[in-house]
Chains A and B, each alone.
Chain A
Amino acid sequence: SRLAEGTPRRSIQLSNIVEQRVFKDNEIISTPKRGRKTKSIEDADADYSPRSVQKTPTRTRRISATAKSTVTPIRGTAATSASAAPITPSQKLKKIRAGELSPSMQQRSGKPVDESRKSQLQLAREQLHVSVVPKSLPCREKEFENIYSFLEGKIQDQCGGCMYVSGVPGTGKTATVTGVIRTLQRLVSQDKLADFDFLEINGMRLTEPRQAYVQIYKQLTGKTVSWEHAHTLLEKRFTTPAPRRVTTVLLVDELDILCNRRQDVVYNLLDWPTKSAARLVVVTIANTMDLPERLLMGKVTSRLGLTRLTFQPYTHKQLQEIVTARLGGSEAFKGEAVQLVARKVAAVSGDARRALDICRRATEIADTARDKCVTMLHVQQALGEMIASAKVQAIKNCSRLEQIFLQAVAAEVTRTGVEESTFMGVYTQVETIAAFMGVSLPPPGRALRLCAKLGAERLIISEHSRNDLFQKILLNVSADDIHYALRVGEIAAAN
């Protein structure tokens, strides 16, 4: 049955990053792919036999023994000292699973550019990047206070609980929650609060809902095990009382991804806090406001509780405050430019990421124009690019016959009154329009090609052209757009 199938056995992939780092300087060991390459190179060299060097266990042991004796602890990190001893791929995998090798990335060879040599626009652009999370989030003080008092109370009371945080994307949900956690951790380090563990999973980073157990266990111990094993161990941890257990705060981002049909993962994540031994506090984040009622089962909703918090979209004033706070005292932006961005974004979605992106784009435009300061015009251009409708341009750039075809589809829709028309009706309209304009008419075979091209551009929605005359055609742009594009074109042509 479908339920019976678990996760694939090998849930961990060897990441390229680790492979490169560990084995780059060590030519003796090679991954299979690299082995093939070296072999082909070394084939000319008769004396060289890489296989015996690799595979003989005695040799390996000897090398590792010498490595142990010779490698001084100057290069102290785990990754480099491990690289000194040759390992087979399975040994490497074992080490990765046990968490003994930490994944590292290759360092850049050049040095990063000095801060002082950057221009004001460049600095502003870096400050405006979405990834730069400010120390204190402007306009989210109330929500911060709410989450803070909840978590602080739970940690002081040493009992478990759940909270559900919702809001549309880009309203600062995750940033606020992690900010609260950082504040609490600072309090712990000053001995003003009882110690607590912090775990974090994100539903989107899991290939499968049950991989959540693996991730949680990995953050607790550093080891990677199969999900079944991880689940058993977690259940043991959370159900058996331990006298020195500290509170565990678990942040679950993108909760709706973790909901499968059985909802067993969500159930377990929310059922553990109800055990008195667990001392688990779960904070769940999702976009949908009514997710518990819409998607979750009754018993899961009952466990989720009523402590909820909704993040409203930012208003234009708040967006303005956010952007000015990012810019600091920088003069790179005109005040009215920021206001225009804030107003435009707040009217559509209230998404702070979007406002920051548009501001960054505006600085780029100002940079290419060699201006020192971002003005309204730059912002207008950036808005035009980011909240753009390219469809009118696409229609204008169509070939003459394609334009006639689009006109014909629109005419057929007005004639019949239904949105869906057949190719036959459209072709009749094409005939009429072509006769009116005095253009020669393409044969239906070629008109099908036009239709397929427009369909691939998504200006219309069409079926496969195998049922030629009877295929259904839908307009994907509005009829007004077609008239507008063609009339403006005509006027331009007439002039």
Chain B
Amino acid sequence: APAAAPSPPRNKYQNARRVLNSAETQNLPGREAQLQELREYFTSHLESQSSGSLYVSGQPGTGKTACLSLLLRDPEFSKRLQRVYINCTSIASVGAVYKKLCAELQLKPAGRTERDHLEAIQRHLRTAKRMLLLVLDEIDQLCTTRQAVLYTIFEWPALPGSRILLVGIANSLDLTDRTLTRLNARCELKPRLMHFPSYTKQQIVEIFKSRLAEADVLDVFPPVTLQLLAAKVSAVSGDVRRALDIGRRVVEIAEQQKRDGEKEFNLKALELPDGQEKAEPRPDIMKPVQVTQVAAVLNKVYGASQNLEEDIEAAFPLQQKLMLCSLVLMLRNERNKDISMGRLHEVYRRVCAKRNILALDQAEFTGTVDLVETRGILRIMRKKEPRLSKVLLQWDEEEVHAALSDKQLIASILNDTACLSR
């Protein structure tokens, strides 16, 4: 029997966690102006029955797709408009967008080629009874060298007798200026631009409040914590997905800590002698999340390299440490910053010999450098021969020192300039 989900009573943390998901929602606080502008644009074109194109841009997670899909569901437009939404990442190739559009419009093309599909669409555009609203999400996926497809699509509004409202969504602000320069030659073809700015602090606070109010768990987050979280996110990216993610992490950690606290309490209760106050069921006290908890999550998320250091301390293999120290030594004392794997290996061997450590041979050494690369400390520019590959340090020297957290070793190696001599 499926769906026999045993649903235990959910506490407020769980409700908050559920409501802070990054899926689609119905109301979009913080995007009222944009929604209004879009609505006006659509109605004006509907009333004048003229076609037009619109390009919507903005950073990831600023609510572009959410706004458009809200309008696509709007009953106000459903009678007067035929609505089609296509995500351009889900098409097989750039040319296949026509086929997908045919399928969405339920057209019957004459043949199976791309051209047949295009002709069927153009015939439909000329003779359609209703106006068409076509939303193309992630439109930068349609960019090619000649931009034939993009130009064809953006020229549909100028097709005689066509009534189409075209909306393209992408991240970059100047996609139409960069890749669709020829559209500027004709004023009626020029798409109207609309930019979604990153969310400000106040908007993120509003979003959190409305979400939490949805499940009636507003008291889980005190206003101070919301302010802190929103200020930090809006200062870095203004991406609401990120904000919701952090909010969820905070709740998860609070829940975890509460559960641990309960465990302790149970243990204490066990120790009590039998007769006394045993049967007192502890009321479910929901502590709101603390500022310290939010700050801890924020530090973990935004202080990426700092918390790398914490983790690394425990387990940074010795040979990798020696390799990194040799690299820092070379970068410090040599004018040539172009360090090949072979040269690095030679210095490393001398460093090892000084410390009476058995050095790895070259094959093994290449593997070691690869492993350090997965931490993001280095980058290897691959060449045909592994010995000729170039090793580039991606971190600051200070960061490397902090990460290795082995001051004695570093200091002794950095003083060892004798190892560098050829």
Contacts and interface: CB of A to CB of B under 8 A. Distances in A.
A130 B128 CA distance: 65
User: Contact residue range for chain A?
Assistant: 35 or more
Contact of B89 (A191, A271, A276, A287): A271
Contact of A264 (B3, B89, B308, B311): B89
B180 interface: no
A214 to B, nearest CB: 13
Contact of B6 (A191, A271, A312): A191
Given A159-B18, A168-B374, A305-B245, A192 B23 contact: no
Interface string A227-266: 0100100010000000010100000000000000010100
A262 B241 CA distance: 22
Interface in B330-359: 340, 342-343, 345-346, 349
Interface string A278-302: 0000000001111000100011011
A246 B317 contact: no
Contact of A299 (B171, B242, B311): B171
B364 A3 contact: no
Nearest to A210: B92
Contacts of B3: 194-195, 244, 246
Contacts of B375: 289-290
A1 B144 contact: yes
Interface string A380-397: 000000011101000000
A83 interface: no
Given A6-B93, A298-B59, A168 B371 contact: yes
A306 interface: yes
B303 interface: no
B314 A4 contact: no
A165 B46 CA distance: 49
Contact of B317 (A160, A276, A299, A346): A346
A274 interface: yes
A20 interface: no
Contacts of A191: 4, 6
**Would you call the interface of chain B mostly helix, strand, loop, or mixed?**
helix
Contacts of B340: 419
B301 interface: yes
B141 A313 contact: no
Contacts of B87: 271
B171 A298 contact: yes
Interface stretch (A47-55, A95-103, A428-436, A474-482): A474-482
Nearest to B368: A348
Contacts of B246: 306
Contacts, number: 176
Contacts of A1: 93-94, 144-145
Given A287-B374, A347-B319, A349-B317, A302 B61 contact: yes
Interface stretch (A36-44, A73-81, A149-157): A149-157
A160 B4 contact: no
**Would you call the interface of chain A mostly helix, strand, loop, or mixed?**
loop
B370 to A, nearest CB: 9
B141 A262 contact: yes
B151 to A, nearest CB: 15
Contact of A4 (B93, B315, B364): B93
Contacts of A3: 93-94, 144
B68 to A, nearest CB: 15
A244 B311 CA distance: 42
Interface in A137-155: 149-150, 153
A234 to B, nearest CB: 10
Interface string B388-413: 10000000000000000000000000
Interface in B312-327: 312, 314-320
A198 interface: no
A31 interface: no
B241 A302 contact: yes
B315 A315 contact: yes
A312 B314 contact: yes
Contact of A289 (B96, B239, B316, B374): B374
Contacts of A150: 252
A158 B5 CA distance: 10
Nearest to A299: B60
A478 B349 CA distance: 9
A391 B342 CA distance: 15
Interface in A155-171: 156-161, 166, 168
Nearest to A193: B6
A423 interface: no
A333 interface: no
Nearest to A156: B14
Contact of B241 (A246, A303, A417): A303
Given A153-B17, A246-B3, A298-B60, A4 B94 contact: yes
User: Contact residue range for chain B?
Assistant: 35 or more
A414 interface: yes
A301 B239 CA distance: 11
A194 B8 CA distance: 11
A6 B92 contact: yes
B367 interface: yes
B138 interface: yes
A153 B361 contact: no
Given A4-B93, A231-B90, A294 B376 contact: yes
A264 B376 contact: no
A312 B375 CA distance: 10
B349 A348 contact: no
B177 interface: no
Contacts of A318: 315
A314 interface: yes
Given A153-B252, A306-B249, A276 B315 contact: no
A476 B387 contact: yes
B88 to A, nearest CB: 9
Given A350-B317, A474-B387, A157 B14 contact: yes
A495 B182 CA distance: 84
Contacts of A302: 60-61, 239, 241-242
B47 to A, nearest CB: 32
A313 B315 contact: yes
B27 interface: no
A414 B256 contact: no
A243 B90 CA distance: 25
B61 to A, nearest CB: 5
A294 B373 CA distance: 12
Contact of A387 (B59, B318, B364, B373): B364
B212 to A, nearest CB: 15
B95 interface: yes
A478 B346 contact: yes
A306 B298 CA distance: 11
B169 to A, nearest CB: 11
A157 B5 CA distance: 11
A5 B138 CA distance: 20
B345 A306 contact: no
Contacts of A290: 375-376
B90 A276 contact: no
A347 B318 contact: yes
Contacts of B381: none
Given A6-B93, A480-B346, 9 more contacts: A193-B6, A246-B2, A264-B89, A288-B374, A302-B242, A306-B249, A387-B360, A389-B363, A419-B343
29 contacts: A1-B94, A1-B145, A3-B144, A153-B17, A157-B21, A159-B23, A168-B374, A228-B92, A244-B3, A246-B3, A267-B138, A268-B90, A276-B24, A289-B376, A290-B376, A302-B61, A302-B241, A305-B241, A307-B249, A318-B315, A349-B317, A349-B367, A388-B361, A389-B360, A461-B385, A461-B387, A476-B342, A476-B362, A478-B362
- 5 nearest A-B pairs in the assembled complex, by CB-CB distance: A389-B361, A302-B60, A290-B376, A194-B5, A276-B23
